[in-house]
Structure 1
C-alpha cells in the first residue's frame, strides 16, 4: 500500500513538471535560444559557425525547440514528421553530428538552469525535477540523433549511387565509336557498374568500337586487368570491339611483370591514337583539309 502511494505521488509530480515545461519553454523561448546560441558560438568550432548565417542559425535553433515541444503536444504522426523534416534540414545544412549532440546537451543544460533560476521548486523537489526532466529529454535526444543518422545514411547512399552512375559514363564521340573514361580506383563493385554501363551503352549508341580510357586509373593490378578483360569479352559478345587506351609506361611495365595477357585487346598509349585506330576499324580516317574558308 505504501509503495502504491509513493508511485502515485511521483506520477502526479511528473505530470506537474511536464505541464510546467510545456508552458515555460514557449514563454521563455527567446531567452533560452539567446543563451543557447551564445554558448554554442563560444564552445564550438568557429570555422563551422562562421559559414552559417545568423538567420539560418536562429531559424534552425528555433525549429529545434519546436521539435522538442511537439514531442509532448502533437500526435506521434505529426511529431515523427516534424522530426524527420528537421533531421533532413540539419543534413542539408551540413551540420555535423558532433555539433548536433553538443547542441542537444547544451540546450538541456540551458533549460534546466533557467527553470532552476525561477526557484519554483524547493530543494527537496529539485532532485525530483531533475530526474523527471532527464527522463523526458533523454528519449527525445535519442530520437533526434537516430533520425539524423538515418537521414545522413540515406543521403550518403543516394549520393554514392549518383556518383557511381557518373563515374563510368559511355560517351559517343563519333558515329559507331564510344569512349568510356575511367578515373580513380576500380574495385569489384565499380567493375560491375562499368560492365553494365558498357554493355547498355554499346547497344544504346550502336557502337562498333568502344575505347576504355584508363589514363586516370592510378593502379592496374591483376584484379583490374581481369575486370577489363571480362568487359572486352562481353563487348565482343554483343558485336563490338573493345580497345584499351591511355596505357602509361609504368602501367605497361606492371602488366608485363604480372604476366597479364591482353593479346585479345587492342591497346594504345593515348586516347588520340585510340580514336585514330577506331576510325580505321570503321573504314574512316582523319585527313587534313586544305580548302580555304
Structure 2
C-alpha cells in the first residue's frame, strides 16, 4: 500500500504541488512564499515532495541523508518549525483528499488508510523536528562564533590608542574572549590607552558591568589606561539604578569624545589647520 500511494503521488505530483502551495499561501504567515521567486518556490516545493515520498520508497539511510540535506536548506531559507509542520500536514491532507476523490480511499478501507498515513507522517514529523533542532543549533553556534570573532578585536586608531567595539550580549564565555583579545592587543599594539566602546551592547546589567570592570583592571595591570565610551542615556540610568560603581572609570557618551580624551592623555590633540 505504501508503494501504491507513493506511485500515486509521483503520478499526480504537479497537481498535488499546486494545491499544496495554495494551502500554504492561505494558511501561513511565513514570508517564504511572498519574497522568494516562483522558480525557487517550485524547486523547494518539489524537493519537499520528494522528501515526503522518499520514506515510502527508500531505505532508512537514504531517507536520513535526504532529510538532513533538506532540513539544512530550509533552515537557511528561514522556515520555522511550525511552518515545516504545516507543510507536512497540508501535503498529507492534499494527498488524502485526492485519494478520496478518485475513490482509492473508501468507507471500507478508510481505517486502513488512516493507519498508513499515521505510519507515514508521524515518523517524518519526529525525524524533522530532531534534525531541525540539531541543524538550527549548529547554525546558531556558527553565528555566535562569527559574532564573537567580529566583535572582540582591538583596533589601533592612533599611535598608542586602540579601540575595542563590543556588539551584542556579553556573557561569561564572551567576556573571557574579550579579556584575552584585549590583553593580547594591548601588548601587540603597544597601546597606552584602550577605549571599550559599548555602543552596540543592548543591555548593561550587573554581570556585564562586572565583566567590563574585570577587563579594565586587567588592562591597568599591563600598564595601559582604560576608558568606557558609548554610554547612552538609558544605559547610564540603568547603571545608576543598579548601583554599579564605575567611579574608577573615565566614561564618555561617544567614541569621538573618548578619542579626544585619549589624545589628551598622550599629550596630543586634534587641531584645525587653516589653509593659506
TM range (shorter): 0.7 to 0.9
Alignment of 1:62-77 (within 5 A): 62-77=46-61
8 Å CA contact 1:44–1:99 kept in 2: the answer is yes
C-alpha offsets along residues 180-232 of structure 1, whole Å, 9 cap, x if unaligned?
23456544444333323312322333323211234555665544443222112
Alignment of 1:50-89 (within 5 A): 50-89=34-73
C-alpha offsets along residues 112-145 of structure 1, whole Å, 9 cap, x if unaligned?
2222233245533232122123212221232123
In 2, Cα distance between the equivalents of 1:252 and 1:96?
37
Structure 2 CA distance for partners of 1:124 and 1:176, relative to 1, 3 Å: same
In 2, Cα distance between the equivalents of 1:247 and 1:32?
57
Single out whichever of 192-201 and 253-262 deviates more from structure 2. 253-262
8 Å CA contact 1:245–1:270 kept in 2: the answer is yes
- Of 219, 229, 233, which residue of structure 2 is paired with 1:245? 229
- Of 240, 243, 258, which residue of structure 2 is paired with 1:258? 243
- Of 164, 173, 197, which residue of structure 2 is paired with 1:213? 197
- Could you tell me the TM-score, scaled by structure 1's length? 0.79
C-alpha offsets along residues 46-97 of structure 1, whole Å, 9 cap, x if unaligned?
8553223222222111111111222243343332221111111111112222
| CA root-mean-square deviation | 3.1
Match of 1:166 in 2: 150
Alignment of 1:150-165 (within 5 A): 150-165=134-149
Alignment of 1:47-196 (within 5 A): 48-120=32-104, 123-182=107-166, 186-196=170-180
Single out whichever of 147-156 and 237-246 deviates more from structure 2. 237-246
8 Å CA contact 1:229–1:262 kept in 2: the answer is no
SS of 2:108's equivalent in the other structure is helix
Structure 2 CA distance for partners of 1:254 and 1:106, relative to 1, 3 Å: closer
Structure 2 CA distance for partners of 1:147 and 1:257, relative to 1, 3 Å: closer
In 2, Cα distance between the equivalents of 1:249 and 1:111?
58
8 Å CA contact 1:214–1:245 kept in 2: the answer is yes
C-alpha offsets along residues 251-270 of structure 1, whole Å, 9 cap, x if unaligned?
3995599372633x444555
Gaps of 5+ in 2: none
- Could you tell me the TM-score, scaled by structure 2's length? 0.83
Count of matched residue positions in the alignment of Structure 1 and Structure 2: 275
